[in-house]
Amino acid sequence: MSKIMAHMVSFFPDRDRSMAVAEGLVTGGASYLEIQFPFSDPSADGPAIQTACRSALEAGFTVDKGFRFVAEVKRRFDVPIFIMTYAGLIYARGVREFISAGCDAGALGFILPDLTFGYDEGVCEVAEDLRTNVMPVIVTSMSKNRLKLLEERHPGYVYVALRHGITGNPTELGAENLGFLDRLEPLGARVMAGFGISERAQVETLDPHVHAAIVGSALVRTVAEAADRTSDRSIRQSADEIRSLLTEQMTGLVGGS
């Protein structure tokens, strides 16, 4: 079975059903959860995740509720969790306070795509200080100088975006991006890779090159479609539907039976 980090947006479609999302993903075999804290202006995300973030904010997401959500997921399903969000939310809360609250909630680490080396607001130092992980999001076009900066950080985990652009569009896996993954081996980090990964065949192709594949928009789309389809049913019925669909989808992606 392949390792997968499954992405979800907390409070999408609402708090209770996003708990069902987490449960479905873990039951289906997700090795990690990437829980996104929705931001009003998610400029690195494609339409599926943008729309989900907007719904989640309308459903009453706040940063404090987000941390409580993460704590409950951790307690109930005991899965390693990365909190993903944008600089805006961290900066507003204060870097140290945000990271420390995430650690208290039980997160293994943080994915902060718009806080890159050189403009990271001290997030890496704080993470080191608090003995937690910041998982840098890197791209195959990264310059040699920037890759050197990455090496100097000795990150425990690295997130590779497999192509340019935003989340959710299809990605071709070939010599360029797979070769890039292999060249990261000397880093000694656990390399995860995503952007446009939606099918078992892609996960299989990635498997020998990564610690885990990352699946995001494909799962968020399942949640959105199921929520739409069950909009005239009770929240509980809708949650059951979402949970079982995600379990099935995850089982297929990891290659379980």
| Residue number with CB closer to another protein (121 or 207) | 121
CB of residue 74 to another protein, shortest distance in Å: 21
Nearer to another protein, 223 or 246 (CB): 223
Closer CB to another protein, residue 93 or residue 221? 93
Q: Which residues bind another protein (CB under 8 A)?
A: 39-44, 46-47, 50-51, 54, 57, 62-63, 86-93, 113-116, 118-119, 121, 136-139, 141-143, 146, 161, 163-166, 169
Q: How far is the CB of 112 from another protein (least distance, A)?
A: 10
CA distances from 5 to 38, 102, 202 (A): 18, 18, 14
CA 122, CA 211: separation in Å to the nearest integer? 27
Two tokens, residue 47: 């339409």
| Residue type, position 242, single letter | I
Supply the minimum distance, in Å, between the C-beta of residue 192 and another protein: 15
Minimum distance of another protein from residue 102's CB (angstroms): 14
Q: Quick one: angle between helices 217-229 and 15-27, nearest 10? A: 130
Distance of CA 131 to the CA centre of its chain: 20
* Separation between Cα atoms, residue 58 and residue 239, nearest integer Å: 18
Instruction: Output 25 or 134, the one with its CB closest to another protein.
Output: 134
